Amino acid sequence: EVQLVESGGGVVKPGGSLRLSCAASGFSSSSYRMNWVRQAPGKGLEWVSSISSSATYIYYADSVKGRFTISRDNAKNSLYLQMNSLRAEDTALYYCARDRVGSMAYDYWGQGTLVTVSS
Amino acid sequence: QSVLTQPPSASGTPGQRVTISCSGSRSNIGSNTVNWYQQLPGTAPKLLIYSNDQRPSGVPDRFSGSKSGTSASLAISGLRSEDEADYYCAAWDDSLNGRGVFGGGTKLTVL
């Protein structure tokens, strides 16, 4: 059974850092583009970042570029998001998702991990 | 303001057919395929339609997708109470070195 399990969320002060992890099981994540999507409380979905199967191609939303870093460890079947210089507007539920065809067709999602940026 | 434009709300009665539109531009819908997601309250989004009109296994054929030029549509026929949810369109955008874009979402109410 395919599963994605996020962890690492929590409460952090503005300007602080957090590292999110996403553990994949039931498939080899090394064959897929992996992604982070977030959803602020009561708001819609926002794409955050994508990383190709071999980490050759990496993309970021303008809102996080220069502050967030996506990475992966295919040997550990894991995806990461290092978040620095956090702002109140980064408060959201962060989902990791698998892209089945490489064009935002996210066929499996985790349950999300909540990041709250507050003083 | 989302790159892809959806109506904020839609509604229908059980058994009806409803459509949700998604408008974009040449750099996203005009150049790439469109995907649709359903999000029930308190749950992660679920892939409903991918590559414009393909249904993942397990998605009822009441759900269908189409694309024309820089717009796309999701149609739900034989509306059921359990279809009440938020629906999002999504596509890759080739501008700004590449980025993913979602529509703002449409809240579907089954009356």
Alpha-carbon distance B8 to B100, whole Å? 20
**Percent over 70 (pLDDT), chain B:** 100
**What's at B99, amino acid-wise?**
R
Burial class (CB in 10 A: 0-12, 13-18, 19+), A87: middle
Closest CA to B103 of A51, A47, A98: A47
Q: CA of A119 to nearest chain B CA: how many angstroms apart?
A: 26
Are the C-beta atoms of residues A51 and A57 closer than 8 Å to each other? yes
pLDDT at residue B106 in the model? 98
β-bridge partners, A55: none
Tens digit of pLDDT at every position of chain A (119 positions): 999 999 999 999 999 999 999 999 999 888 999 999 999 999 999 999 999 999 999 999 999 999 999 999 999 999 999 999 999 999 999 999 999 988 899 999 999 999 999 99
What pLDDT is attached to residue A74?
95
Contact A20, A6 (CB under 8 A): yes
State whether residue A32 sits within 8 Å of chain B by CB: no
Residue carrying the six token digits 């029930």: B40
Half-sphere exposure of B47 toward its Cβ, with a 13 Å CA cutoff?
26
**Confidence check: pLDDT of B1 > 90:** no
Q: Structure tokens of A38?
A: 């977030």
> What six digits make up the tokens of B99?
């980025």
Mean pLDDT (whole number) for B45-53: 98
3-state secondary structure of A19: strand
Is there a contact between B44 and A103 if contact means CB atoms under 8 Å apart?
no
Return the SS3 of B93. Answer: strand
Query: Could A95 and B44 be called an inter-chain contact, meaning their C-beta atoms sit closer than 8 Å?
Result: yes
Q: Taking CB atoms and an 8 Å cutoff, what residues of chain A touch B103? A: 44
Query: Could you tell me which of A89, A80, A77, A78 has the C-alpha nearest to residue A115?
Result: A89
- Structure-block tokens of residue B46: 């679920």
pLDDT in tens, B73-111: 999 999 999 999 999 999 999 998 899 999 999 999 999
| Mean model confidence pLDDT for chain B | 97
- Report the residue of chain A nearest B28, measured CA to CA: A103
